[in-house]
Amino acid sequence: MRYQYSRFVCLGVWMSLVGAAAGCLDGLPPDGADPGTGVAVSAVTLSEGFETGSKTGFAAADVTLGSGVWNLSDTLIGTLSTDVKTGTKSARIRNSGKITMRFDRTAGAGTVTIHHASFGTDASGTWGLFASQNGGTTWTQVGSSKTTAAGAFATATFTVNLAGTIRFDIRKLDGGANRINIDDITISDFTRGTGAALSKHTTLGIPSPVSTSDVNNFLSAKSGYVVSYNSGRKVPNWVSWELNTSYLGAIDRQDDFRPDDTLPANVPQASLADYVGSGYDRGHMCPSADRTLTAASNSQTFYLTNMVPQAPNNNRGPWANLEAECRNIVATGKEVFEIAGGTFSASSNKIGSGVVVPDMTFKVIVVLNAVGQGPSAVTTNTRVIGVMMPNENAQISQSADWRSFRVSVDSIEAATGYDFLSDVDPAVQAVVEARVDNL
């Protein structure tokens, strides 16, 4: 509701979408991107790597770094071999330490990325990002807390999307003596409107950062839908698509289930064998029945990158009925934009060679009054449907009414960390994403 993805991580640099630039999407599959899709490198708006500062003790003090003055409390700038770092230095935090900006950015913030790791052989630590828009008088946590691991940096990406003056504070939250390293802080400007530049299927916004270098947020912009694919789970993070009557015809199901041969070989995928005997369906996110105009468009939906292991009672019951309801809606001349995926946890089931089963499947549906409308057509009166369905047969009946699983979009964002309708006016988002559909 409050956030919007306006940049993409590509080779470690924030990328902004532009018309026909080649950028780092040169390798997009030939079946895939809409004409004119591409990205180009944009300047990093703020970057801090602690390379120009010096602080050898943990006592709180202001330090002049390359980006400005920061206060480091229970934090020093580490240079040891056991400090995980890019270059020669990184911040090392202990106890309940903080790294706090002493200055405001006036261009707001779109996203913040931070590298983090446990120091040396120390136990893992927990930390969070906080934002202030009143000069540091009050702070609000951005996104979820993060946990470090030893050995190498992990990248934490936070979607902020707040306009106006803003500053940030990184806090160690576990309070223990275990130390953590922080490095490579990058903050992008707040902007709006990148979804349509990527594809007509993301006209209302992009739910999370994607790239062609991050195999767990791998972008595949196809002619029929857009996928953010997670090779670690071997399922999509989310699939986004447009639906109106121009996609519907009389073509039969192709049923040619297969791995996605448009993805690079270094992106691990599920195989057909992973699903055999698993007890789960190969559950389409963008449905086969939403793409019946041509055999090629229907066949495209049978890539396993468009599927999650889905409980039969879910897939063949309320989920299928909701899919049919969307087609009934567009038959009246309306258009819908849909985003579907799953929620996951540490205890999520796995099938085959490590294909992760979603705990729940979600869908966000925006109903527009006419084909060709975009973010500006979404008002506080626009119908927005959110659903979350349990993904185990014991937890859901095949005869259940899909309406019984309606939730607010805000609750789906809380469960996934994604930002839906991100190119819609934030004031409108605040209203429609808090509401539970009741039509």
**Domains assigned to the chain:** 46-187 (2.60.120.260), 195-432 (3.40.570.10)
Residue 42: predicted pLDDT: 35
Secondary structure of residue 180 in the 3-state scheme:
strand
Residue 192: predicted pLDDT: 67
pLDDT digits (tens, 9 = 90+) for 318-350: 999 999 999 999 999 999 999 999 999 999 999
| Residue 116: active-site member | no
CA 149 to chain CA mean position, Å: 21
Above 80 in pLDDT, residue 246? Answer: yes
Beta-bridge partners for 156: 114
Mean pLDDT, rounded, for 407-426: 95
Residue 212: predicted pLDDT: 82
pLDDT digits (tens, 9 = 90+) for 259-291: 999 999 989 999 999 999 999 999 999 999 999
Average pLDDT of the chain?
89
Please give the residue that has the higher pLDDT: either 123 or 3. Answer: 123
Q: Report how far apart, in Å, the C-alpha atoms of 254 and of each of 9, 271, 275 are.
A: 35, 18, 18
Please give the residue that has the higher pLDDT: either 106 or 387. Answer: 387
pLDDT digits (tens, 9 = 90+) for 11-38: 222 233 322 222 233 233 333 333 223 3
The total of other beta-carbon atoms located within 10 Å of residue 393's CB is: 15
Cα–Cα distance for residue pair 218/36, rounded to 1 Å? 19
Mean pLDDT, rounded, for 120-137: 95
Cα–Cα distance for residue pair 282/259, rounded to 1 Å? 12
Residue 85: predicted pLDDT: 97
CA 265, 270, 276 angle in degrees (round to 5)? Answer: 145
Largest Cα span, the chain: 71
Residue 190: predicted pLDDT: 74
CA 30, 260, 240 angle in degrees (round to 5)? Answer: 80
Please give the residue that has the higher pLDDT: either 225 or 45. Answer: 225
Q: What is the DSSP letter of 208?
A: S
Cα–Cα distance for residue pair 17/25, rounded to 1 Å? 10
Q: Which tokens is 181 given? A: 């390293």
> pLDDT > 70: what percent of the chain?
89
The total of other beta-carbon atoms located within 10 Å of residue 135's CB is: 11
Do the bridges between strand 68-78 and strand 90-101 make them parallel or antiparallel, or are there none, so unpaired? antiparallel
Tokens 């849909």 sit on residue: 338
pLDDT digits (tens, 9 = 90+) for 157-175: 987 877 678 999 999 999 9
Please give the residue that has the higher pLDDT: either 208 or 174. Answer: 174
The total of other beta-carbon atoms located within 10 Å of residue 380's CB is: 12
Cα–Cα distance for residue pair 178/172, rounded to 1 Å? 10
pLDDT digits (tens, 9 = 90+) for 105-126: 988 888 899 999 999 999 999 9
Residue 11: predicted pLDDT: 27
